Amino acid sequence: MTGGSPVLSLRSASFGYADRAVVSGVTLTVEPGEVVAVLGPNGSGKSTLVKGALGLAQQLAGSVELFGMPRADFREHARLGYVPQRHTLASAVRSTVTEIVASGRIPRQHWLRGQTARDREQIGRALELVGLADRARADVTTLSGGQQRRVLIARALAGEPEVLVMDEPMAGVDASAQHVLADVLTRLAATGVTMLVVTHELVALADLVTRVVVVDAGQVSFDGSKADFEAAAGHVLHDHGAHHHDLELATTPALLGNPIPDPPAEVRRG
């Protein structure tokens, strides 16, 4: 997808929890078709930045627009797909891969109708895209960490989003699984899906990313092309320890308009 309004526009935006800012003064625009990596050390505020843009963290200042519309007025949540950082899928009630993925289709379904042929087609396509069609009937608890991460990506894709937002999609999975995930995301990018990917390192996504945003000490310290980032990385990316880490992880924000409803099977939220 190209042209039209930016998919995301932040102007002097600040986000946090319990009225305490974790990131502040952020001005950022994401255009259709971009693959943007949001980089930074643990606790830098990069996850809070993305959650704030989606309404999953408290907006304390500035403005947020989605597809040219103020976020507070935005209702077309199916246009956004969100993959949380924490990916443990467990439940007292057993759930199959298809059941989890099907929950991502809910924003596109009419409340008076059951699942249609179109719904089933898109659920199947999402499973194909992430390479899990052969595990459609499997219990999600039998899958590896990397496979569970792909289930959550498929769940987001089932809603046919124009923008896919992922929080640390490579975290907690081994190198081979990271390569598989990178291949999945490369195929998605080729279809024109805009992506905003929070990560603490760029290696697995280096061939995919078109732009890099660095968050450091709660502020954007760099925003530019991958080539410019590689030239300046030694000056813009630092590890200062977890100055915001406790605040980001210990606080569970109220959900202020989650674009993708979580199924009962997920008991932890990123």
Residue 115 confidence class, pLDDT cut points 50, 70, 90: confident
Instruction: Please tell me which of 3-7, 21-25, 109-113, 156-160 the model is most confident about, judged by mean pLDDT.
Output: 21-25
Instruction: Please tell me which of 32-36, 127-131, 177-181, 244-248 the model is most confident about, judged by mean pLDDT.
Output: 32-36
Burial of 134 (0-12, 13-18, 19+ CB in 10 A): exposed
pLDDT score, position 239: 56
Cα 266–Cα 268–Cα 177 angle in degrees, nearest 5: 80
Residue 3 confidence class, pLDDT cut points 50, 70, 90: low
Domains along the sequence of the chain with CATH: 8-88+164-250 (3.40.50.300)
Query: CA neighbours within 13 Å on the CB side: how many for 93?
Result: 7
- pLDDT over 70 percentage in the chain: 81
pLDDT score, position 59: 96
Lookup: tokens for 267: 């008991």
Nearest alpha-carbon partner for 270 in 246, 247, 252: 252
pLDDT score, position 223: 95
Alpha-carbon distance 133 to 270, whole Å?
25
Residue 116 confidence class, pLDDT cut points 50, 70, 90: confident
Mean pLDDT of the chain: 82
Provide DSSP, 77-132: GGGEEEE-S---B--SS--BHHHHHHHTTGGGS-TTS---HHHHHHHHHHHHHTT-
Provide DSSP, 151-217: HHHHHHHTT--SEEEEESTTTT--HHHHHHHHHHHHHHHHTT-EEEEEES--GGGTTT-SEEEEEET
* Average pLDDT of span 76-84: 89
For 161-179, the pLDDT digits (tens) are 999 999 988 877 788 888 8
For 169-208, the pLDDT digits (tens) are 887 778 888 888 888 889 888 888 999 999 887 888 888 9
Check: pTM over 0.85? Answer yes or no: no
For 259-268, the pLDDT digits (tens) are 333 333 332 3
- pLDDT over 90 percentage in the chain: 50
* Max intra-chain CA distance, the chain: 56
* Average pLDDT of span 135-142: 93
Residue with tokens 């990560």: 199
Is residue 8 scored above 80 in pLDDT?
yes
Nearest alpha-carbon partner for 234 in 218, 221, 217: 221
CB under 8 Å to 108, separation ≥6 — which residues?
78, 119, 122, 159, 160
* Average pLDDT of span 199-219: 89
